Structure formats: C-alpha cells, structure tokens
Amino acid sequence: MRAGIDYSGPGATCNRDPETGIRYGLIPLHSLGDEALEEFESIYVARCPHCGDEIPEDTHFTMRSVKRPGGAITNVHATDCPACGKLIREDDQYGDEADAQVCNLPEFNAHLDSSNDVWITKSPYFTRAAFCSPCAPGACYLNNPTDDGERCFCPGHDWFGDKPTPFPIYSVATGELVERAS
C-alpha cells in the first residue's frame, strides 16, 4: 500500500478542498527553490505582551500618562488588555516574529507552518502522492509521489527554481500533464 494510510477516517473532509475534493499537499520549504518564499507575506497579529491574548482590531489606543522607571512621566498611546487588564503600549502590540507566512494569490493559496512545511490549499495544479502522517490527516506528502496516491494540490514548476520538480504536475482544469518550460 504505497499510498499510505488516510488518518482522517472514512468520509472525513478535513485537509481537502470542499468544492473539488482535492487534498491539500504538504512539502518541506527546503524542497522548493529559493524563489518560492518570495511569494509569501508575513502576517503579524496584535497580541498583549503580558498574557499573549489577541487584541481585537477595533481596540482604540488613547494618549496616557505613564511613569517610566526612574519616576519620569511620559505620554504614550496605550489601552488596557481586555483579557488581563494590564496596560498595553501601542508600540508593543506586535512581536518581532511574524505569526504566519502566507501566499494568497487569485488561483493559489499556501501557508508555511511552524515545522517549515508549506501547505498548498488551493492551486491550478495537482499531483498524486501518499498520505501524510497522522499530524496532517487527509493531506498528502508531496515528497512521496506515487501513481496510486490521492490527487493533491501542488505548486507549479516555477516554485522549484533550478531544482528538478520531484513529481509530475497536472492541470486541475484539464487533467493534462503540465510540462516544465525549457
């Protein structure tokens, strides 16, 4: 059984497109060409630096007088955290690291997870690959292509740069093999 085990269970619809039934494809970032990451955008979520809860988008920061270490008073834009009640300075609501890396194009969606795996959730292309481990039930691992595998979304040849594409790529629209441009 080269296609592996579908850990999502019989009749499950997780990790697949609800319209087409095509499964999500996962591939390690290092398997792609260097240019692939250029398509991703960093997303930052406003969070309380004290408790980590997300700060609602409609939160209003107002000018407040606060005492600095040493006793000096300064004015800052701040608000109280709705979760823990502590003062949040407007400048402190975003961390240094992005909360997510996403690629949202009209015909293509992907995101980078904390394991540096790229999840392809929408694409004009598919391939056939074996199922992922239980960590991604119902999804397919693109570095394990197999003829008897499930149809799963994949990136186009351009995402591999100079590296060879490790699997055949087909058009979702036509089902035809998409050759790599010379």
Mean pLDDT, to the nearest integer, of 8-27?
Answer: 90
What is the tens place of the pLDDT at every residue in 54-90?
Answer: 998 888 888 888 888 888 888 888 999 999 999 998 9
Mean pLDDT of 125-135: 92
Q: In what side-by-side order are the strands of the sheet with 73-80?
A: 62-67, 73-80, 87-89
pLDDT band at 178 (very low <50, low <70, confident <90, very high): very high
Mean pLDDT of 44-59: 90
pLDDT at 10 exceeding the cut of 80: no
Query: Does the reported pTM lie above 0.85?
Result: no
User: In sequence order, what are the beta bridge partners of 108?
Assistant: 105
The confidence score (pLDDT) of residue 24 equals 97
- Tokens standing for 1? 């059984």
At residue 59, the pLDDT reads: 85
